Chains A and B, each alone.
Chain A
Amino acid sequence: MKRRTVLAGGAAAAALGMTRAAWAQQETVKAGFIYVGPKNDGGWSQHHHEAALEMAEHFGDKVELVIQESVPEGADSERAMTQMALGGADIIFTTSFGFMDPTINVAAKFPDVKFEHCTGYKTADNVGVYSARFYEGRAVQGFLAGKMTKTNKIGYIASFPIPEVIRGINSAYIHAKQVNPDVEFAVIWAFTWFDPAKESDAAQALIEQGCDVVLQHTDSTAPQAAAQKAGDVYTFGQAADMAEYAPMPRISSIIDVWAPYYIERVQAVLDGTWESDNTWDGIGAGMVGIGEISSAVPDDIKTEAEALRDSIASGEYHPFTGPLNKQDGSAWLAEGEVADDGTLAGLNFYVEGLKGDIPS
């Protein structure tokens, strides 16, 4: 094993005609993480941070962890990454969609540093991308929302109209509709990943419109707080379990499970076997976790939801299975047809039945 990696490293260096010594085995690794929000946001960034800490603990002395939180997307993030690379980081995880172009730019300047960009689609020799199939979790949420709503109105706090978010709305809607044909979705675009004040306003507005289940694709617990105040509104934890709001209003959650991936990728750097990848894992591979379905949900519904979760995990059922039409009524997937990853990766339309427009 050892010898083979050394040989592979040598071959790569020879092939590229440049020194790629850093690609070989190393004793220690300096791993950097860049977060879009504060590391204690209670959701997305916090979960990346906790996974990073878990990874660092796993490796002990072999890994030095450096982080930078609340990094604005855009030009500033490019400097944050450069700073880390200059500071000697061997691998840098950039954990927001908006870091995509900056990651590619900085990676081009530091060919010996490996980069891992979360939720993007651009790769390079030293840039891998990873994301989770959150839409699988959204299917379970949609199912629960459709079953639990009494007003048949479900609110959805969306962040940015990018494919990841649109997939989530579609998946939740499809599965809510399957169990409750009268269900309607109201979507509010918050244009932020993390802004407790805005999220709280959005939740409030949805509740006032009569929504008694509120889903969110933003990272704070402000919607939970708003729902708790309203009393009879159900919500779901986003990115983190948000169990402090269980059993009501939080009745389940989608949990991002990044630590195993981080451990695997840092191990690859230690071994000298790191290669650019494109990882997109779901419930089955353990990257998406479904948080405990709380006691507020009747037992029979809970059992059905868990069955749905398990059938997605086993690959038996795909959340985007035809027949499905686009919002304008044109055909998308025929009976039994399953959406391919390419279409899903760039998904930019609603399925039939959803009202309103995707901002454009």
Chain B
Amino acid sequence: MIRLEKRPQPSRAWSYATPVLAVVITMIAGGILFAFLGKDPFLAIKTIFYDPLLGEFAWYYRGQLLVKAGPLILIAIGLSLGFRAGIWNIGAEGQYIMGAIFGAAVGLAFYPMEARWLIFPLMVIAGALGGFLWAMIPAILKTRFNTNEILVSLLLVYVAEQFLASMALGALRNPEGSGFPGSRNLQQYPAAANTELIAGTGMHWGVVAAFIAVIAAYVLLKRHMLGYQIRLTGESPRAARFAGVRPNLLIIFCMGISGALAGLAGLFEVAGPAGQISIDFNSGYGFTAIIVAFLGRLHPVGILLAGLLLALTYIGGEAAQANLGLPAAAIQAFQGMLLFFLLAVDVLTNYRIRLRRTEAA
């Protein structure tokens, strides 16, 4: 008989091993799924995990990996701070949208001025501010009226989507777009464009910001009093109060920082890879980042790796679709499996498996 026995302390070794184990199990289960769909499972797994990194066109895909992982990591880092303290900002998607709108609006307001040294930094500030302000709505409602930040932040995503649509059709619409929705393309406006820093690498300012965020979060959590307070609040809110943590201030800080980082991600995306404010500019980064945060164990370095891994399944998954004819739904199922197995094997971190002979019946 198999029994689960609670560990006195979560196992450190397993907390590192489970993500790897989850990936391996996903590969096996995914391979079986692909085999049932009549595709060569080894080829499919190779296309998803190996080709984008070391295959024939890896020079292109490696850059795309950064483009895709950048916003995921940037948003997930912000979210992880709150998640650690038990503050659940689920609405990063909305903050991402608002950051993009604020930033793009500032850039477009200067069109066609050429002072990049002025315009681009202002856009970055506006982007962070947009996300920050949008996150302040659930934060202040929580501290003032004790509303549930999960619900409020999530529902504000839909408000932000409507706002995005109205901006794409109205105030920010390209006056030279002959009536079609969507703003001017910021990529074609050098003073505002978030271009690749080194051609062909995919490295743009958003990716740089993501790396900086990883380092800053690491330092904050390891060395800073605030990081200690965040960890303590997550582990024991009562103890934290005795230790002098002011919970309302912490809520404001965690929501604000995650909103600002999501807003930054939105700004870098709209000025870079996406290029313009359009009705359906957002493509779910804010939600996927929640998976990244947990897959990375809410640890900055873990999030960095998780972001890259998830980006890999996207990019490789697309390649498998185009080259092997795998249906899009199979790829989505494959990504779902990853989170599913991670949560499943997580049991091993907190429990130990005991094999026992059945006692006399």
- Is A24 in contact with chain B by the CB < 8 A criterion? no
Asked if B33 is at the interface (CB within 8 A of a chain A CB), the reply is no
Cα A68 to Cα B328 with chains together (Å) = 8
Q: Which of A67, A70, A97, A345 contacts B322 (CB 8 A)?
A: A67
Contact B180 A79 (CB under 8 A): no
Q: Are B60 and A75 in contact (CB under 8 A)?
A: no
Which residue in chain B gives the minimum CB-CB distance to A39? B327
Question: B179 touching A163 by the CB < 8 A rule?
Answer: yes
Q: Which of B315-338 contact A (CB under 8 A)?
A: 315, 318-319, 321-323, 325, 327-329
Q: Which of B187, B278, B315 contacts A79 (CB 8 A)?
A: B315
* Pair B179/A80 contact, Cβ less than 8 Å: no
CA distance A53 to B322 in the complex (A): 15
Q: Are B279 and A191 in touch, CB under 8 angstroms?
A: yes
Contact partner, B60, options A82, A97, A98, Cβ 8 Å: A82
Looking across the interface, which residue of chain A has its beta carbon closest to that of B280?
A73
> Nearest Cβ distance between residue A287 and chain B, in whole angstroms?
21
What is the interface of chain B mostly: helix, strand, loop, or mixed?
Answer: loop
Question: Is A74 part of the binding interface, using a Cβ–Cβ cutoff of 8 Å?
Answer: yes
Taking CB as reference atom, which chain B residue is nearest A164?
B180
A69 and B327: CB pair below 8 A? Answer: yes
Residue of B nearest to A75 (CB): B273
Contact, CB under 8 Å: B321 / A69: yes
Do the beta carbons of A160 and B181 come within 8 Å of each other? yes
Segment 156-193 of B: residues with Cβ below 8 Å from A: 165-166, 169-170, 173, 178-182, 185, 187
Assess whether B281 is in contact with A161, with CB atoms less than 8 Å apart: no
B278 → chain A closest CB, angstroms: 7
Residue in B closest to A81 when the chains form the complex, CB atoms: B322
A346 and B169 in contact, given A74-B278, A78-B273, A84-B322 (Cβ under 8 angstroms): no
B322 touches A76 (CB 8 A): no
Identify which of B181, B273, B319 contacts A83 (C-beta below 8 A). B319
Instruction: Please judge, given known A-B contacts A75-B283, A161-B181, A346-B180, whether A87 and B323 are in contact too, CB under 8 Å.
Output: yes
Contact present for B280 and A163 (CB under 8 Å) = no
Q: Which of B170, B179, B319, B327 has the most CB of A within 10 A?
A: B179
Interface check B57, CB cutoff 8 A: yes
Docked complex Cα distance between A67 and B325 (Å): 7
Chain B residues within 8 Å of A72, by CB: 280, 283
Interface size class of A (residues with CB under 8 A): 35 or more
Tell yes or no: A162 within 8 A of B by CB. Answer: yes
Contacts of B328 in A (CB 8 A): 38, 68-70
A21 located at the interface, meaning its Cβ lies under 8 Å from any Cβ of chain B in the complex: no
Q: Would you call A68 and B283 a contact (CB within 8 A)? A: no
Enumerate chain B residues within 8 angstroms of A38, measured Cβ to Cβ. Answer: 328-329
Shortest CB–CB separation between residue A191 and chain B, in angstroms?
Answer: 6
Chain A 103-126 interface 0/1 with B at a Cβ cutoff of 8 Å (1 = within): 001000000000000000100000
Which A44-73 residues have C-beta < 8 A from chain B? 66-70, 72-73
- B residues within 8 A CB of A66? 322-323, 325
A75 to chain B: which residues have CB within 8 Å?
Answer: 67, 269, 273-275, 283
Q: Which chain B residues lie closer than 8 Å to A346 at the CB level?
A: 178-180
Bound form: Cα–Cα A69–B180 in Å: 24
- Interface check A356, CB cutoff 8 A: no
CA distance A285 to B201 in the complex (A): 46
Contact flags (1/0) for B261-286 with A, using CB distance below 8 Å?
00000000100011110111101000
Count, chain B residues at interface, CB 8 A: 36
Residue A17 CB within 8 A of the other chain: no
**Can you name the residue of chain B whose Cβ is closest to the Cβ of A72?**
B283
Q: Using a CB-CB cutoff of 8 Å, which residues 224-273 of chain B contact chain A?
A: 269, 273
Structural contact, A163 and B180, CB atoms closer than 8 A: yes
Most interface-central of A76, A82, A98, A105 (chain B CB within 10 A): A76
Q: Separation in Å of the A190 CB from the closest CB of chain B?
A: 11
Bound-state Cα–Cα, A67 to B318, Å: 10
By a CB distance below 8 angstroms, the chain B residues around A339 are none
The distance in angstroms between the C-alpha atoms of A76 and B278, with both chains bound, is 14
Say whether B153 faces chain A, with CB atoms less than 8 Å apart.
Answer: no
CB distance from B60 to the nearest CB of A (A): 6
Whether A101 contacts B275 in the complex (CB less than 8 A), given A38-B329, A86-B60, A360-B169, comes out as yes
Query: Which of the listed residues A66, A72, A160 has the most CB atoms from chain B within 10 Å of its own CB?
Result: A160
Q: With A72-B283, A82-B60 known to touch, is A162 a contact of B181 (CB < 8 Å)?
A: yes
Residue B89 CB within 8 A of the other chain: no
Report Cα–Cα, A191/B161, bound state, in Å.
10
> Does B64 lie at the interface of the complex (its beta carbon under 8 Å from any beta carbon of A)?
yes
Q: CB within 8 Å of B: which of A1-58?
A: 32, 38
**Are B283's CB and A345's CB within 8 A?**
no
Q: Once the chains are docked, how many angstroms separate the CA of A278 from the CA of B173?
A: 24
List of A residues within 8 angstroms of B318 by Cβ: 68, 76, 79-80, 83
Interchain CA distance A216-B203 in the complex, whole Å: 43
Residue of B nearest to A359 (CB): B169
Q: Which residue of B lies closest to A73 (CB)?
A: B280
Per-residue contact bits, chain B 57-81, to A (CB 8 Å; 1 contact, 0 not):
1001000100100000000000000
**B residues within 8 Å of A by Cβ?**
57, 60, 64, 67, 165-166, 169-170, 173, 178-182, 185, 187, 269, 273-276, 278-281, 283, 315, 318-319, 321-323, 325, 327-329
Q: A32-B322, A101-B276 are in contact. List 8 more A-B contacts (CB 8 A).
A: A69-B328, A73-B278, A75-B67, A75-B275, A98-B278, A101-B275, A346-B178, A347-B179
A–B pairs, 5, beta carbons within 8 Å: A76-B318, A87-B322, A161-B169, A346-B178, A359-B166
Q: Which residues of chain A have a CB within 8 Å of any CB of chain B? A: 32, 38, 66-70, 72-76, 78-80, 82-84, 86-87, 97-98, 101, 105, 121, 160-163, 191, 345-348, 359-360
Q: Which 10 A-B pairs have the closest CB atoms?
A: A348-B179, A346-B178, A75-B273, A70-B328, A346-B179, A360-B170, A75-B274, A360-B169, A72-B283, A86-B57
